[in-house]
Amino acid sequence: MQLRQMPFRLLRAAVFAVVAVTASLLLHLWSGGHAPGPPQFAAAVGLVFAAAYAAGGRQRGFLTLAPLCLAAQWGLHEFFEAGAQAATHAHGAGWSMWLVHIAAAFAQASWLARGDAALAALLELLTLFFARVVRVLGVNARIAVRPRRLLPRTRVPRPLAAVRTAISRRGPPRLAFS
């Protein structure tokens, strides 16, 4: 199972859309904005869902999600403001509004990157678990499992030739018989 397969891609896009639009709406209201109607909210979720589905071909990290979330927050702010102007309840986009949207974008990017990584790890564990179950039960089904190679995080320094000859490891420690 991979994150780019259809059901998982749809799930990831739906989660991104709901989180982005809901957070943007709540913080937009909190900083003095106008509440859109249900059709405008649904249209915003639909637009963000389409953009998230288009960008969701693979797992993304924080540095990739942060600009996408900033663009989503800016677009949603403009979308909500356009709805407010249509309802003749326009408001000014002061510093507090933009700071709230920027903070929301960075919080969303962090949360979504962690959730995406957790979903990928969960799917990998489930794949390996079910592959083992199939092997234990003796079913003659071929399963394509690509285990990840885990590389060590720290590298062990190799001893230098001069240091290797200077260190003697023969005999007990000097303090052993003192």
Give the tens place of pLDDT for each residue, 104-129. Answer: 889 888 888 888 788 778 888 888 88
Burial 58-78 (b: 16+ CB within 10 A, else e): eebebeebbebbbebbebbbe
Who contacts 134 (Cβ-Cβ below 8 Å, separation ≥6)? 141, 143
Cα 3 to Cα 9, 14, 60, 63, 124: the distances in Å are: 6, 14, 11, 19, 10
For residue 40, report the phi and psi dihedrals to the nearest 5 degrees.
Answer: -70, -40
Contact at 8 Å (CB) between 82 and 43?
no
What was the pLDDT predicted at 104?
83
Who contacts 79 (Cβ-Cβ below 8 Å, separation ≥6)? 36, 40, 43, 44, 47
Residue 147 token pair: 């285990």
Residue 92 token pair: 């000014």
- Which parts of the chain sit beneath pLDDT 70? 1-5, 83-93, 139-169, 171-174, 176-178
What was the pLDDT predicted at 25?
85
DSSP assignment letter at 68: H
What was the pLDDT predicted at 46?
92
What was the pLDDT predicted at 101?
78
Q: Residue ranges of the alpha helices (H) in 56-137?
A: 62-86, 95-137
Angle, CA 5 vertex, CA 119 and CA 7 arms, to 5°: 75
What was the pLDDT predicted at 177?
59
Q: Give the three-state DSSP class for 139.
A: coil
Contact at 8 Å (CB) between 24 and 41?
no
Chain-centre distance for alpha carbon 101? 18
The pTM is what?
A: 0.59
Angle, CA 46 vertex, CA 42 and CA 47 arms, to 5°: 120
